[in-house]
C-alpha cells in the first residue's frame, strides 16, 4: 500500500493501515489541514469539490464533503467532473479553493486529493508545505453545531465549461461543423465519457463512435493515454473509417490523438499542434517542461516567438508561463494549458482548438502530423543504491559536458545541437530518469546509452 504526500496533493492506494495508504483517517486528516489553510489564506469559507469516476470516488467524496462541513465550510459539490472543470468552477464560485478527487492516470486502486488555490490553480510549493505541516501537527479545529457548513449540489459546470470554450475567439464551431468529422473516442470509463461527447456535440460533430464511455471507474486498460494502451481505439478508427481518434485520461487533463490510418499522432505532438494553431493567430511565447519535445521550440521560433523551458510539474510550467507571458504552454504528456481560458491542463479546450486547426488545415490528421519536425524521445532509468549521492553524480556528469549548453533548473539537461538528454532523480525512489530526444529512435537511444555509460564509468571511479 502507498501514501504519497506532495505539495500538489495527497495520493495513495485505497485500503490498508492509516499512514500507509489513502485510508478514511488520512482523507479526513489532510482535508482538514487543507481546509484550515484555505480559509486562513483567503478568509472565505467555501470550497468546490469534484471527482472523476473511479470506483472509490463516492466513498472519498462522502468523507471529504463531511469533513469540510465539520470545518464550518460551505461545499459546492459539482459531482462527476473533470480536473479543468473544477479549476474553472473555483473562481466562478469565488471559493477559497477546490479539491479534485482523482488519481489522474493511475490505476483503479489509486485515488488522490488534488488541491487548488482561490484562482483555481494547483497550490505552490510553499503552500503545499504549509498544508502538510498543519496536517502533521493537527493544527485545526472543527466547527460548533450551529456553524457547520452546507452542501450545494451543482451539476451545471459541464455546460458552463463548454460555454466558455465555445466563446473563445480561436474556437471556430462553423469550421468544425463544416468539416463533418467522424471521430472515435476512448474515455477509459471515466468522466470524459460524459464531457467529451457533449463537447463534440456542441462543436457540431455529428458522428462520434464511443469506446469506454460508461463512467463506472472500471478502466478497460491502463488509463494512461500512451500508445500501448490505445490499441482498441486505433482498431475502432480503422473499423469505422473515422477521421481521427481522441483519447483522454480519467480526469480529462491529458489529450492524445490517433491518426486516420491507426497510427498515433504522438502525445508529445498534442501541444505542438495546438501551439502551432494558436501562434498562427496570436503572437507570443510558449513554455513546456524540460522533458518535452524540441518540436515546440521549433514551431515557436518559426512563428517569431520565444520558447522557454520550465522544471517538470504543472505548477512550474504555469509559473513560467506567467513570467514570460506565454500565449500557450503545457507538458509533453498531452497536457495543453491555454491561459486565455485558465492556467491548467485542459483536454476539452485542447480538443476544441485542435479540431479548429484540423478543419482549417483541410487535410488528414496524418498529413498535419507530418508537417511538424520529427523527433523521437527515448525514456530510460538507472536504479541506484539508496545511500548513493545522486546529486553529486549529476554534478560530475555536468562537469564532463560543461562545454555543451545545459540547464540545472530541474536535474540536468544537456543539449547537443537539436538533440538533448535530461537527467532527473526521482522524488520517491533511488533512480535517475534519463529522457533523450533525437531525430530518430536510434539517435535518441544512442544518446541515452552514451550518458548511461558515462554514469557507470563515474560510479566505477568512486
Catalytic residue numbers read 104
Strand partners, 422: 413, 435
Angstrom distance (rounded) from CA 271 to CA 268:
7
* CB distance 176 to 355 below 8 Å: yes
Angstrom distance (rounded) from CA 90 to CA 119:
7
Query: Which single residue is written with the C-alpha cell 486516420?
Result: 260
Helix (H, G, I), strand (E, B), or coil: what is residue 440?
A: coil
Q: Output phi, psi for 80, to 5 deg.
A: -60, 120
* CB distance 315 to 122 below 8 Å: yes
Distances (CA, A) of 352 to 58, 177, 275: 30, 12, 13
The HSE-up count of residue 278 (CA atoms within 13 Å, CB side) is 30
Angstrom distance (rounded) from CA 365 to CA 234:
14
- Cα 237 to chain centroid, rounded: 25
C-alpha cell at 148: 457547520
C-alpha cell at 344: 491548467
C-alpha cell at 251: 480526469
Torsion angle of C-alpha atoms 340, 155, 192, 1, degrees rounded to 10: 110
Helix (H, G, I), strand (E, B), or coil: what is residue 16?
A: coil
- Cα 94 to chain centroid, rounded: 24
Per DSSP, the chain holds a count of helices (H) and strands (E) of: 15, 20
Closest CA to 307 of 317, 335, 42, 431: 317
Task: DSSP for 210-249, please give it.
Answer: EES---SS--SS-SS--GGG-HHHHHHHHHTT-SEEEEE-
Angstrom distance (rounded) from CA 429 to CA 275:
34
Distances (CA, A) of 387 to 6, 384, 395, 397, 434: 22, 8, 17, 19, 20
Amino acid at each position: 500500500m502507498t501514501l504519497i504526500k506532495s505539495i500538489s496533493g495527497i495520493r495513495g492506494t485505497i485500503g490498508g493501515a492509516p499512514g500507509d495508504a489513502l485510508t478514511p483517517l488520512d482523507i479526513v486528516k489532510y482535508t482538514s489541514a487543507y481546509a484550515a489553510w484555505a480559509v486562513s489564506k483567503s478568509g472565505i469559507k467555501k470550497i468546490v469539490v469534484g471527482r472523476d469516476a473511479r470506483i472509490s470516488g463516492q466513498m472519498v467524496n462522502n468523507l471529504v464533503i463531511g469533513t469540510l462541513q465539520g470545518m464550518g465550510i460551505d461545499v459546492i459539490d459539482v459531482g462527476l467532473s473533470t480536473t479543468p472543470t473544477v479549476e474553472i468552477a473555483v473562481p466562478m464560485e469565488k471559493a477559497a479553493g477546490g479539491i479534485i478527487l482523482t488519481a489522474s492516470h493511475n490505476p483503479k486502486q489509486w485515488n488522490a486529493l488534488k488541491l487548488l488555490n482561490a484562482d483555481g490553480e494547483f497550490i505552490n510549493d510553499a503552500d503545499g508545505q504549509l498544508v502538510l505541516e498543519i496536517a502533521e501537527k493537527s493544527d485545526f479545529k472543527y466547527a460548533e453545531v450551529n456553524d457547520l457548513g452546507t452542501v450545494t449540489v451543482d451539476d451545471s459546470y459541464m455546460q458552463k465549461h463548454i460555454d466558455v470554450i465555445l466563446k473563445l475567439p480561436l474556437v471556430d464551431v462553423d469550421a468544425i461543423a463544416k468539416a463533418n468529422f467522424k471521430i472515435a473516442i476512448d474515455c477509459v470509463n471515466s468522466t470524459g465519457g460524459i464531457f467529451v461527447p457533449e463537447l463534440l456535440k456542441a462543436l457540431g460533430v455529428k458522428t462520434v463512435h464511443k469506446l469506454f464511455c460508461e463512467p463506472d471507474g472500471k478502466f478497460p486498460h491502463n488509463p494512461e493515454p500512451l500508445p500501448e494502451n490505445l490499441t482498441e481505439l486505433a482498431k475502432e478508427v480503422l473499423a469505422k473509417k473515422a477521421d481521427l481518434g481522441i483519447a483522454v485520461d480519467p480526469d480529462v487533463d491529458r489529450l492524445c490523438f490517433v491518426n486516420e490510418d491507426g497510427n498515433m499522432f504522438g502525445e508529445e505532438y498534442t501541444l505542438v499542434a495546438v501551439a502551432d494553431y494558436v501562434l498562427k493567430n496570436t503572437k507570443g511565447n510558449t513554455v513546456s517542461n524540460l522533458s518535452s519535445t524540441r518540436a515546440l521550440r521549433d514551431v515557436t521560433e518559426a512563428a517569431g516567438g520565444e520558447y522557454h523551458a520550465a522544471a517538470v510539474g504543472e505548477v512550474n510550467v504555469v509559473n513560467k508561463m506567467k513570467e514570460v507571458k506565454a500565449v500557450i504552454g503545457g507538458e509533453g504528456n498531452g497536457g495543453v494549458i491555454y491561459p486565455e481560458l485558465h492556467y491548467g491542463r485542459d483536454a476539452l479546450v485542447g480538443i476544441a482548438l485542435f479540431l479548429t486547426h484540423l478543419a482549417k488545415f483541410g487535410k488528414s490528421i496524418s498529413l498535419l502530423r507530418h508537417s511538424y519536425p520529427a523527433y523521437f524521445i527515448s525514456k530510460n532509468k538507472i536504479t541506484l543504491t539508496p545511500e548513493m549521492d545522486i546529486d553529486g553524480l549529476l554534478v560530475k556528469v555536468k562537469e564532463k559536458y560543461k562545454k555543451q549548453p545545459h540547464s540545472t533548473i530541474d536535474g540536468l539537461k544537456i543539449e547537443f545541437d537539436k538533440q538533448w538528454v535530461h537527467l532527473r532523480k526521482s522524488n520517491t525512489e533511488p533512480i535517475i530518469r534519463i529522457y533523450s530526444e533525437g531525430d530518430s529512435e536510434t539517435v535518441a537511444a544512442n544518446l541515452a546509452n552514451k550518458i548511461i555509460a558515462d554514469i557507470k564509468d563515474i560510479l566505477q571511479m568512486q
